[in-house]
Structure 1
């Protein structure tokens, strides 16, 4: 595609580059699901437009210019040869519309995430990684493929002010004020799910972190994530992508 760098604001272009990088890293870790999950980011400005992946493009193919810009009604506000995933729009528009702090929303169908979402007791306090997720975690019951606009009300109510969500029998969701922070939260949640499944598969007695430590993490979670947030690792991630697949910036 022709580069949009000269036809959008500097702030929007940076958001496009960071969001394309996010898609490429999800593909790098093998957390993509062909073309069926999505990451969105609000375009800086008062219009409440957001960027989302072109439906049908593999995550390893997404570039800054190929991202589709839509409004909260799901209408394209900039010419694009691509459509968007309607289920992706329902989930992401619900969060963007209701949470001013959710500039980026990531939803994945990873094997570990879906497995944990199917467990009755969900995520457990078996690892340090799990504590950060448990400090701001919500659940949303499965209602079928997310095509019903009425589900938005219930999803938003379940999400509340949390930054981590497990969608029952479906997958994982994280949201934050920046793209790097949203990626870091998903990295932590995904690792917590992987660790739990491996620990449970050992069939050995498991040690659950006690409530006192969990309560302390909850009280300190905001401070900890600000001091070691996504911005700390993000420059290194961009350098990695520049070595692996620099075309994400196109």
Structure 2
């Protein structure tokens, strides 16, 4: 199993705030386009936020009601911790209040991803965490949780605080009967974890429909986690997707 060595590609380090801001916005626009391409754009629910590198209590986000298939860097809006638009002529999804509370609780988190994906919301109805049945699902082993009081459509900051508490220091939380949410130290990482978790949900749903999948032993699952579940691995996995979507849809960068 591949291990990420010291000479592996690493996230860029910026000397200028403007360059880092543009980089995050480009990654955010690309992630939103990829979510549309992968069928993760269910109505207006899909929301991705990216912390501004200078105004750390402000976040870039996709505007409410705009198709993710058409998102450009120039379409992104900047909101404060109350979800109010500070820059941009559109409004944000009220669900951004949940994102803001997670950003507040986790200062190291750069991006938060939330979507009502088909396999994610199907798995969420079981009220269970994912089992380590594949190498990919081990990325979430002992690093995700289930928020089990999502009994109604709530988009208030108080619910965001409860979700942030349930998430803890993990990379993902399954919102029972609703959706999934992932976080990362970069937009790249957070987006990849969501895509990977959606696929892990799909794999386990298929496996359980066919029979009784074998669950990896704790020691094996933990070892695999340290090979596929670290920050750098999440970032690295996103790079080929970014290159692909920019080549196919270069206008997203404008």
Question: Under a length normalisation based on structure 1, what TM-score does the superposition of the two structures give?
Answer: 0.88
> Residue 221 of structure 2 aligns with which residue?
214
Distance 1:119-1:34 versus aligned 2 partners, 3 A rule: same
> Residue 13 of structure 2 aligns with which residue?
none
For residue 29 of structure 1, the aligned residue among 30, 38, 46 is 38
Q: How many correspondences in the alignment?
A: 237
- Summarize the alignment of residues 179-190 of structure 1 with structure 2, pairs less than 5 Å apart: 179-190=187-198
CA distance in 1, matches of 2:233, 2:160: 32
Q: Is the 8 A contact 2:50 2:59 kept in 1?
A: yes
Shift of 1:164: 1.2
CA distance in 1, matches of 2:118, 2:25: 27
> Residue 163 of structure 1 aligns with which residue?
171
> Residue 107 of structure 2 aligns with which residue?
100
For residue 86 of structure 1, the aligned residue among 75, 94, 98 is 94
What CA deviation, in whole Å up to 9, does each residue of 1:95-154 have, x standing for no partner? 111101111000111110011111143422221211111231111121411223221221
Distance 1:143-1:149 versus aligned 2 partners, 3 A rule: farther
- Alignment of 1:58 with 2:67, yes or no, is yes
> Residue 225 of structure 1 aligns with which residue?
230
Distance 1:161-1:205 versus aligned 2 partners, 3 A rule: closer
Shift of 1:245: 1.3
> Residue 48 of structure 2 aligns with which residue?
39
**What's the secondary structure of 2:64's corresponding residue?**
coil
Q: Is the 8 A contact 2:128 2:146 kept in 1?
A: no
Q: Is the 8 A contact 1:42 1:51 kept in 2?
A: yes
CA distance in 2, matches of 1:97, 1:236: 30
> Residue 199 of structure 1 aligns with which residue?
207
> Residue 114 of structure 1 aligns with which residue?
121
CA distance in 2, matches of 1:65, 1:215: 42
CA distance in 2, matches of 1:69, 1:19: 12
Q: What RMSD, in angstroms, separates the aligned Cα atoms of the two structures?
A: 1.9
Shift of 1:177: 0.7
CA distance in 2, matches of 1:236, 1:205: 34
- Alignment of 1:239 with 2:243, yes or no, is yes
Shift of 1:50: 0.5
Distance 1:65-1:181 versus aligned 2 partners, 3 A rule: same
**What's the secondary structure of 2:60's corresponding residue?**
strand
Structure 2: segments with no counterpart, 5+ residues: 1-16
Distance 1:66-1:198 versus aligned 2 partners, 3 A rule: same
For residue 24 of structure 2, the aligned residue among 8, 15, 26 is 15
> Residue 123 of structure 1 aligns with which residue?
130
What CA deviation, in whole Å up to 9, does each residue of 1:167-226 have, x standing for no partner? 111111110110111122112211110101111222x232121223224345x36x8624
